[in-house]
Amino acid sequence: MRRAVMARPSIVLPALAALLLSAFVLRLFVGPSETPWTDLMLVLSGRHEASGSADLLFEFRLPQAIAAVLAGSALALSGLQMQTVFHNPLAGPWALGLIAGAQLGVAVLIVSGSIFGLHFSGALGPTSLSGISFAAALGAFVALLLALALARHVSAATLLVCGLLFAATLDGVRGFLIHLVGVQYELLFLSWDQAGFGGVTWHQLRVFAVVVGVGILLALALAKNLNGLLLGEQYARSIGVSVAAVRRAALLSTLLLAGSATAFSGAVLFIDLAVAHFCRGVFRTADHRLLVPAAALVGAAMALTADIAVVLMPGDERLPVNIMTCLLGGPVVLWVLLRGDRTVTS
């Protein structure tokens, strides 16, 4: 019988950070516009004044790479926390209706714009990226408030089922609202709903980074208590963990992470589900003190890798990033899970 050996954080985390850094640098040098890498090197070293290459680097590639890192980390951590809180390997922010809430928030803003005129809310109107991002965050927040209110009265399993039904209902409401508006408003919604890391501006990146940073710090602070939840709520209470408080804090962290990722990058799929399984399988541990930073790094690397793979596809056509997150993530996680299962049964 082989014995699973837990990975050592002092080796794993620096290795993951190096991997992420490599992917980040690679992303700056690959792009759809075939800018010579020598030009980019000169721009990065400050010796090149060619505005074309500098614009491409600083206005497109750099913000896109940073957005991928933030969104990947955020989604991976929100998935990890939800799976632990709900003791369910399929739990994630979408299961609580957060994604559906964000989409509904945008749909309500766009429908309001079609009824009251585009300028009814100034800079936060439906044609403004800031307005749409704010509406998405607000929608996710309202969905989370409902989930928190419900969490006081029902078990984790019931809350998960309620979340799925809630998400389906919100989807229906959103579909109905979008059906009511003209095609130009419908296209405005579809434009936002297209997942990807490329639509984030520098101004938004600052907000995105702060919110994700707070969410990550909260998740790190919760790591020890999340370990307590792994053995069941009764056991967690017996060792002094305030289950309700931890659950609420984890939900809040998930809101900050998944809500901001959805607001700024759309509904990016699979990272929230896959990364936690990948980390548990590869690092042979359920200890959140390692899993939280590892998931943040792996999630960021996965989002960046998916983005790089999309860019490297032959031809100019841009594949949706969700195709790549699923294509890359699916087989890897499947392999990790099956390998772990064989180890346990052998």
Q: Which residues bind another protein (CB under 8 A)?
A: 31-35, 51-52, 55-56, 58-64, 113-114, 118, 123, 125-131, 182-185, 187-188, 190-192, 194, 196-199, 201-203, 266, 311, 316-318
Q: Which is nearer to another protein, 58 or 335 (CB)?
A: 58
Cα dist from 202 to 30, 208, 266, 295, 335, whole Å: 20, 10, 17, 25, 38
- Cβ 45 to another protein, closest distance in Å? 16
**Torsion angle, CA of 285/249/130/306, rounded to 10 degrees?**
10
Phi, psi of 230 (to 5 degrees): -60, -30
- Cβ 30 to another protein, closest distance in Å? 11
Q: Is 242 left (phi over 0), alpha (psi -120 to 50) or beta?
A: beta
- Cβ 315 to another protein, closest distance in Å? 9
The DSSP line for 97-111 is: THHHHHHHHHHHHHH
Q: Which is nearer to another protein, 127 or 238 (CB)?
A: 127
- Cβ 245 to another protein, closest distance in Å? 38
Q: Which is nearer to another protein, 6 or 327 (CB)?
A: 327
Query: Hey, CA dihedral for 55, 187, 175, 138, is it positive or negative?
Result: positive
Q: Which is nearer to another protein, 9 or 213 (CB)?
A: 213
For tokens 């714009």, the residue is: 113
Q: Which token pair is 278?
A: 């990948």
- Cβ 341 to another protein, closest distance in Å? 39
Answer yes or no: are the C-beta atoms of 74 and 261 closer than 8 Å. Answer: yes
- Cβ 60 to another protein, closest distance in Å? 4
Q: Which token pair is 17?
A: 């950070």
Q: Measured between alpha carbons, how far is 54 from 48 in angstroms, rounded to an integer?
A: 8
Q: Measured between alpha carbons, how far is 50 from 198 in angstroms, rounded to an integer?
A: 22
Best CA proximity match to 184, nearest among 113, 272, 105, 274: 113
> What secondary structure letter does DSSP report for 227?
H
Q: Measured between alpha carbons, how far is 282 from 92 in angstroms, rounded to an integer?
A: 20
Q: Which token pair is 28?
A: 């700056």
Cβ-based neighbours of 85, under 8 Å, separated by 6 or more = 91, 156, 226, 229, 246, 247, 250, 251
- Cβ 103 to another protein, closest distance in Å? 14
For tokens 């090149």, the residue is: 48
CB burial class (10 A; 0-12, 13-18, 19+) of residue 3? exposed
Q: Which is nearer to another protein, 203 or 224 (CB)?
A: 203
Q: Which is nearer to another protein, 114 or 343 (CB)?
A: 114
Q: Which is nearer to another protein, 108 or 282 (CB)?
A: 108
Q: Which is nearer to another protein, 126 or 293 (CB)?
A: 126
Q: Which is nearer to another protein, 56 or 290 (CB)?
A: 56
